[in-house]
Amino acid sequence: MRRGPVWLLGFLLAAWGCHQQRPAQELCAPATSELSLTDSAGGLAGEYRLRLVATSGAARDSAAEGRLRLRPYQGPPRGTTSGYPLFGEAEIELGSVGAVEPGDVASNDPEAPGVLAIRRLPRGGEQAPAEIMLRLGSEANRRGVRRFDGGYTVLQLRQITDRGFAGSWRSGAPQPRSSGYFCAWRSDR
């Protein structure tokens, strides 16, 4: 009996089976939809894997991957036409996609968080969904400071699912410098 071919076949099948058990890379593509009237930031607290892809700017066609953590904001309201339902921090190299880092994106200080979720309500009874954005950088999110210019990096949510959310991003200082799309997949479920 020849053991060589049988052994080799067994080894190859085992290796193929191990390879199949690895998690597949999630596809990140530009979101083509808009938020619905019922979408809200309330259910977005949690841990995410975050991927930013640059489609314009000096780092066009590059990508950055990292971690994002969002939790409920426990402070008093900051405005009447907008709300701040979540804050958190991120671990991601914004410079690799040409984005500006206005302060520490890893800050977990509620007074100057690395990430601040902003919900803008529709004006004057409009039948439109709220806008939900994530503004990155502790200096951009410092409490008590009204910013009119300066560096910015903002993630605009366009799609929310049970697995995460996606949308577009833009960054500049103060003129637009780079932009692209992003995806955030839940890693805590």
3-state secondary structure of 96: helix
- Look at residue 37 in the predicted model and tell me its pLDDT: 84
**How would you write the pLDDT of the chain (189 residues) with one tens digit per residue?**
455 555 444 444 444 444 434 344 679 999 999 998 888 898 999 999 999 999 999 999 999 999 999 999 876 555 556 788 999 999 999 999 999 999 999 999 999 999 999 998 777 666 778 799 999 999 999 987 776 668 899 999 999 999 999 999 999 987 889 999 999 999 976
The total of other beta-carbon atoms located within 10 Å of residue 145's CB is 10
Q: Which residues, 6+ apart, have CB-to-CB distance to 90 below 8 Å?
A: 50, 66, 67, 68, 69, 105, 106, 114, 115, 136
Sign of CA dihedral 113, 162, 82, 156: positive
Q: Among residues 52, 51, 90, 93, which one has the least CA distance to residue 70?
A: 90
- Set out the domains of the chain in order of their start, with CATH numbers: 42-186 (2.40.128)
Q: Among residues 60, 52, 47, which one has the least CA distance to residue 154?
A: 52
- Look at residue 96 in the predicted model and tell me its pLDDT: 97
- Look at residue 5 in the predicted model and tell me its pLDDT: 55
